[in-house]
Chain A
Amino acid sequence: MSSDNLPSIEDSNSSHPAPDDDLARLVRSATDGDQQAWNELVDRFSGLLWAICRAFRLNSSDASDVCQLTWLRLLEHLESIRDPARLPGWLATTCRRECLVLLRRNKRLQPVDDERLHYLSSDQPGPGQAAADTAVLVADRDAGLWHAFTRLSDRCQQVLRMLVVIPDTGPPSYQLAAQALGVPTGSLGPTRGRCLAQLRDLLDAEGISGAATDS
């Protein structure tokens, strides 16, 4: 049984356990066969995995498959997770890998190396993807922003999508996003700045303000 020196087990209502302690407890319990602990892990990180799949432009059906496979992958390797604090990064990297495997198998992209993905033209669905499934519902007020966003390079779109989703999961956003993207952590800050500047230029060119107050 796990040791009893973690305050988080006794005081979950009165104190906030350090995120790493909490995560370590969940991983240990799940490894010991605790379904509840597993469920908590799923609740905590499903959003991360789904968003990574969407950032790789998988449709819903493929995203479901990749998410499922990623969780099964974790099941296979639960015993070998030595440092539970690294679980988010492990999940992000595994999900990324499974996205790439699926994309290669389905030949939706050109044959690629691991560093770069060559996308089909940015706002067209890929072959075999239902247009309705990849259509994006955006509020009217976001139409201009969405249009500008889709005119960014595929790389910028992918990077920004990843940065948008990852802060929700707790760990430092750049590190986890970098793992999901397979790039050095230090490159993300400058890339973010560059991409946002390009987005700003596109919005200005269309005469659209980036502020939320516009109708």
Chain B
Amino acid sequence: MRDEDELFQRLTDMLSPQHNPPAMVTELAKQSFGLRTVDAELATLTADSQIVGTAAAVRRGAQVDVPRLLTFETPGLLVELEIGGSARRHRILGELVPTGPAMIEVRQPGALGPRAVTADEDGRFVVDGLLPGPFSLTCRRDGRSPVTTEWTSLD
């Protein structure tokens, strides 16, 4: 038993340096606090073409340009997104169901601040220039409480 614990301690000493996060990771996590939305309904990701894993799923670094389809849902709103664009700057084509105009606020860590685009009468909108990494959209419609899509990562 004692030998086993000694071995475990030796393993701990050897492996622990590998387990410390870089300072940057911790810093980014602290800064994320500013990205929080309060009082918005959370729309969960209910479909992701990349996870269902068709043969067309994009491998990291591949040049093939196959759009990724995401669906976020709350009881009152469906947010359908098509992610395209280049590897470094993604473009989202979005559609709200039920249709109708809305203000769409776009948040990403690493972006300078939130941006806003408008969804038209058909509930359609475009967001350009998204960075790789997590993103979240907050949809604000007249007379309804805001809906925020859960944080999802873009390649």
The answer to whether A and B assemble together is yes
CB–CB A51/B109 < 8 A? no
If A46-B26, A50-B21, A68-B133 touch, whether A75 touches B35 (CB-CB below 8 Å) is yes
User: Could you tell me how many residues of chain A have their Cβ less than 8 Å away from some Cβ of chain B?
Assistant: 57
When distances are taken between beta carbons in the complex, the residues of chain B under 8 Å from A78 are 36
Closest 4 CB pairs of A and B: A50-B21, A51-B19, A72-B151, A71-B29
Task: Tell me, in angstroms, the Cα distance from A31 to B120 when the chains sit together.
Answer: 34
In the complex, chain A residues whose CB is within 8 Å of the CB of B38: 33
Q: Is A165 an interface residue (CB 8 A)?
A: yes
Q: Which of B52-60, B76-84, B89-97 participates in binding chain A?
A: B52-60
Listed residue (B9, B32, B33, B150) with the most chain A CB atoms within 10 angstroms of its CB: B33
Total interface residues on B, CB under 8 Å, equals 47
> Bound complex: CA of A68 vs CA of B4, how far in Å?
36
Tell me how far the C-beta of A86 lies from the nearest C-beta in chain B, rounded to whole angstroms.
20
Whether B7 sits at the interface, judged by CB under 8 Å, is yes
- Are B18 and A68 touching (Cβ within 8 A)? no
Q: Do A146 and B14 contact each other (CB < 8 Å), given the known contacts A42-B30, A50-B25?
A: yes
Report A54-87 CB contacts with B as 1/0, cut-off 8 Å: 1000001001110111011101101000000000
- Minimum CB–CB distance from B111 to chain A (whole Å) comes to 13
Q: Is A24 an interface residue (CB 8 A)?
A: no
Most buried by A among B14, B51, B53: B14
Residue of B11, B18, B20, B32 near A75 (CB, 8 A) is B32
